[in-house]
Amino acid sequence: MRILITGGAGFVGSHLGDRFLSEGHRVVAMDNLITGNINNISHHAGNTNFEFIHHDVSNYIYVPGEIDAVLHFASPASPIDYLKYPIQTLKVGAMGTHNALGLALAKKAKFVLASTSEIYGDPLVHPQVETYAGNVDPIGPRGVYDEAKRYAEALVMAYHRTHGLDTRIVRIFNTYGPRMRLDDGRVVPNFIGQALRGEPLTVYGDGKQTRCFQYVTDLVEGIYRLLNTDFHEPVNIGTTQELTMVEFADAVNEVSGNTAGIIYKEDLRIKGDPQTRRPDNTRAKQVLGWEPVVPLSDGLKFTIEYFRKVL
Ligand code: NAD
Ligand code: UDP
């Protein structure tokens, strides 16, 4: 297959590209580098199965030749990124998704939308099952991201129902691994950067809020299986190992050998921090036969090794 990955120079997009290339496919990475990094794909220089197109997908997308699948992963993803780029975030979720769908329709390609657990907002149902419609404040600070992704899901289903486009929606829960930006403000690079500098880890609020962290190769495996399955409803992909931020900080300190402990801080970034988040991943198990396999201690070890090199 020849696969277009929008956001292909980002954290997740670049790992997806690696996977599809390793399976013998051709990859076109399209990215405007707003939050991505060309270094994430520089190891493919000279590989004739790999192309990079510098383009903002919120503008009309032109790609010559056949395309068999469009994986739409372009979007700022970290809270500080989408606060810095609120309009670009709304545009790439709306116009970017529309352009990517239009291209898939013209090329008769399969389509995968990178959606997010954030579509559940600050959830009132726990764990979050795909049939739960969420609790999102459209005009809250996170609304630019959450509502862009909710609109994107609506548009994907409209293309599927109206045009019969062969679509998929993956609702991604917190994912970590090498190639995250050290300064992207998300908890994993923050904590690891602090641990490697021997500083206390900054736990926001009372640290009782929870997240589930999956290693990036587990996510990529889920997306790979989803593309090869005939299933059009959204699928949660995430681990069910739910940790408070205090527990997660302790885990990072333990694996990195940092003895500086933790400090509590007010989250000055953004209001409306979801207090709980855990996927019900029954659907992923049933439809894809997928379960995460990388233990947190291993995933953290690999990620810490990466950040040690870039620090
Ligand atoms: P990232 O910021 O590393 O990657 C996003 C990429 O998209 C970047 O390379 C950026 O430059 C590119 N991009 C943004 N707007 C663009 C535009 N208009 N045109 C072209 N390229 C554009 O973030 P990530 O963590 O790799 O996230 C990738 C996708 O996965 C996003 O759609 C995100 O919403 C989704 N997601 C990620 C997570 C996670 O935990 N990493 C969780 C849920 C959903
Ligand atoms: N967080 C934290 N310390 C940090 C950065 C984040 O305690 O230095 C917390 C944040 O308040 C949130 C969780 O970590 O509850 C996950 O935040 P992140 O930005 O990684 O992603 P989110 O899941 O909120 O999109």
Whether 237 and 223 have beta carbons less than 8 Å apart is answered as: yes
pLDDT in tens, 95-140: 999 999 999 999 999 999 999 999 999 899 999 999 999 999 999 9
Q: 306: burial class by Cβ within 10 Å (0-12, 13-18, 19+)?
A: middle
* Confidence at 141, pLDDT banded by 50, 70, 90: confident
Gap from CA of 77 to ligand 1 centroid (Å):
5
Scored b (16 or more CB within 10 A) or e, 127-142 reads bbebeeebebeeeebb
Q: Under CATH, what is the fold of the domain 187-209+242-277+298-310?
A: UDP-galactose 4-epimerase; domain 1 (3.90.25)
87/57 Cα distance (integer angstroms): 14
Distances in whole angstroms, Cα of residue 25 to Cα of each of 16, 18, 165, 190: 11, 10, 21, 35
> Is residue 176 annotated as part of the catalytic site, yes or no?
no
Gap from CA of 24 to ligand 2 centroid (Å):
37
Q: Under CATH, what is the fold of the domain 2-176+215-238+278-294?
A: Rossmann fold (3.40.50)
pLDDT on residue 130 = 98
Residue nearest to atom 23 of ligand 2 (CA): 174
Atom of ligand 2 nearest to the CA of 209: 15
Q: What angle do CA 141, 269, 204 make, to 5 degrees?
A: 120
The set of residues, in sequence order, having a beta carbon less than 8 Å from that of 310 and lying 6+ positions away, is 182
27/46 Cα distance (integer angstroms): 13
Nearest ligand to residue 173 Cα? 1
Nearest to 165 by CA among 102, 226, 224, 235: 102
Best of 122, 183, 204, 262 for a ligand 2 pocket test (most atoms within 8 Å of beta carbon): 204
Q: Check whether the bond before 200 is cis (ω within 30° of 0).
A: no
pLDDT in tens, 227-247: 999 999 999 999 999 999 999
The domains spanning 2-176+215-238+278-294 and 187-209+242-277+298-310 adopt the same CATH topology: no
Distances in whole angstroms, Cα of residue 196 to Cα of each of 32, 192, 280: 30, 6, 33
Whether the CB of 273 sits within 6 Å of ligand 2: yes
Lowest mean per-residue pLDDT among 55-59, 79-83, 157-161: 79-83
* Confidence at 78, pLDDT banded by 50, 70, 90: very high
Whether the CB of 116 sits within 6 Å of ligand 2: no
pLDDT on residue 171 = 98
Catalytic annotation, pick one of 82, 85, 120, 145: 145
pLDDT in tens, 37-76: 999 999 999 999 999 999 999 999 999 999 999 999 999 9
Whether the CB of 165 sits within 6 Å of ligand 1: no
Residue nearest to atom 34 of ligand 1 (CA): 77
Nearest ligand to residue 214 Cα? 1
* Confidence at 197, pLDDT banded by 50, 70, 90: very high
Q: Where are the domains of the chain?
A: 2-176+215-238+278-294, 187-209+242-277+298-310
Q: Which helix H or strand E contains 13, and what residues bound it? A: helix 11-22
41/62 Cα distance (integer angstroms): 21
What rounded mean pLDDT belongs to the chain? 97
Q: Residue type at 223?
A: I
Best of 15, 19, 35, 211 for a ligand 1 pocket test (most atoms within 8 Å of beta carbon): 35
Best of 4, 39, 75, 181 for a ligand 1 pocket test (most atoms within 8 Å of beta carbon): 75
pLDDT on residue 273 = 85
Nearest to 171 by CA among 210, 209, 208, 133: 133
